[in-house]
Amino acid sequence: MSEKLSFYEKLIKIQQELKAPKGNFNKFGNFRYRSAEDILEAVKPINAKYELFLTLTDEPLQIGERYYIQATASITDGEKEHNVTAYAREALNKKGMDDSQITGTASSYARKYALNGLYLIDDTKDADTDEYQQQTIGNQNELNTKIINLFATALNKVGGRDKLYKQLDLNKTKMTELTKSDNTKEKERIIKKLEEINNGN
């Protein structure tokens, strides 16, 4: 059956058939939630059924003075490929965790939201999104997400972080403060400027 379907027809079938249970329970918040591992456990046999190969990759990204984990979920049939990227911000500190555990937590959440996007899993009503609202980009507003995506692209075009900050009339500290603020007007200014840089204007 899978041989008669195109790459994207297979992906649509997987999205329709996937049922990812919320296999974890938060006893303090009294809610169930799904992790990246829950999604992977549920989707592996369906991917195999349709002969598609899934990979997950992480990459650290610095925006302002904060570090983010950029996770990409990629699925392929060996010829065509579809990718979805998501971000999670490392917490400044997390009680009882060392640096590697903080990074691991951010990686897990970034991977989860990349998988959500790839398989069209709606997590907007999950209670864990509220719990990690300040940690994950997926739970922050649309303006912050745009800034991060555009900044990463513009960084490659400009060829240096200091050059880019100068064009934006910002520095690392101000960028960090901006991503944590509710200053919509200033965020829109930065987005417009980043779009101009990316478009070569």
* Residue 159 confidence (pLDDT): 82
Structure tokens given for 134: 């300040």
The CATH architecture one would assign to domain 2-139 is 2-Layer Sandwich (3.30)
- Contact in structure between 74 and 82 (CB atoms under 8 Å): yes
Whole-structure pTM value: 0.59
Q: Which residues pair with 63 in a beta bridge?
A: 66
pLDDT above 70: residue 51: yes
Q: What is the largest CA-CA distance in the chain?
A: 56
Mean pLDDT of the chain: 81
Which residue bears the tokens 């991060």?
Answer: 148
Statement: residue 178 has pLDDT above 50: yes
What is residue 161's predicted lDDT score, i.e. its pLDDT? 87
Contact yes or no for 133/88 (Cβ under 8 A): no
Domain boundaries, the chain: 2-139, 141-201
Q: List C-alpha distances in Å: 132 to 28, 80, 88, 140, 141.
A: 14, 34, 10, 10, 13
Q: Which residues fall within 8 angstroms of residue 112, CB to CB, at 6 or more apart?
A: 34, 35, 36, 39, 86, 123
